[in-house]
Amino acid sequence: MTTQSSKNVGTVAESIQWFGQSSVKMQHLGKTIYIDPFNLKVSDKADVIFITHPHFDHFSVEDIKKIATNETVVFCPVELKEKIMILGISKIHPVTPGFKSEWEGISVQAVPAYNVIKSDKHPRRSNWVGYVLTINGVRIYHTGDTERIPEMQHIPCDIILLPLGQTYTMNTVDDAVKAVLDTKASIAIPIHFGMYEGKVEDAENFAKMLEGNIRVIIPKQSAN
């Protein structure tokens, strides 16, 4: 998919910071955006936080405390609303797959994220999510913890961030490659490897398998 110039898409992709697992940070017009904040050191306060599901490495209370303010907005699965309210955060948007909204000029869409084969890890019935954020016309798809699922064929994007671990998420690196092709992304950023599942070598193989078709950015963990 190419909604914007490749230069613009590339600039957005290169600006995304990764903290390990699925934890990333982006900036837009002076606003700081986090998805699944985890493993943070000293970092910028959050204007908005997106949580994909309640597992400890995606919903980290300690990390949210580090970056949240009274004005922070949180998008999260329905089951997490009360737990987030306890943290003193009041601007909460509970989401399920299919949810659509807008925040500060950014289009927000929650999409399904689940396991088909390892269904006990991320059950479809839990209604956990990934997010598609459209920023300045660039569609960024953070898949959350998921296997390759049929819905991905209907989630076109410019940039995809997807897990490479083969214990809890994608079953194989080849499945991750096919998921990227399903979405017609022009840039792929592998995440969710190098800590509890998946290796750097998996990311390197992933890049080789997509070489000539899709640009792959293998992220390095950011310190802040």
Q: What pLDDT shows up at residue 26?
A: 96
Q: What pLDDT shows up at residue 195?
A: 76
Residue 67 token pair: 């970056």
Q: What pLDDT shows up at residue 153?
A: 98
Residue from 71, 39, 35 nearest 53 by CA: 35
Contacts of 39 (CB under 8 A, 6+ apart): 19, 20, 21, 23, 57, 60, 63, 195, 221
The rounded distance, in Å, linking the Cα atoms of 193 and 23 is: 11
Ranges of each domain in the chain: 6-213
- Contact between 219 and 191 under an 8 Å Cβ cutoff? The reply is yes
Q: What is the pLDDT along the chain (224 residues), one digit of tens a residue?
A: 655 667 799 999 999 999 999 999 999 999 999 999 999 986 799 999 999 999 989 999 999 999 999 999 999 999 999 999 999 999 999 999 999 999 999 999 999 999 998 777 888 899 999 999 999 999 999 999 999 999 999 999 999 999 998 778 888 999 999 999 999 999 999 999 977 777 899 999 999 999 999 999 999 887 66
Q: Quick one: CA dihedral 114, 116, 119, 125, positive or negative?
A: positive
Task: Concatenate the DSSP letters of all residues of 137-162 into one string.
Answer: TEEEEE--S----GGGGG---SEEEE
The rounded distance, in Å, linking the Cα atoms of 141 and 151 is: 13
Pick the CATH number of 6-213 from 3.60.15.10, 3.50.50.60, 1.10.760.10, 3.20.20.80: 3.60.15.10
The rounded distance, in Å, linking the Cα atoms of 177 and 193 is: 15
First to last CA, the chain: 31
Sort residue 210 into left (φ over 0), alpha (ψ -120 to 50) or beta: alpha
Backbone angles phi, psi at 6, to 5 degrees: -60, -30
Q: What pLDDT shows up at residue 121?
A: 81
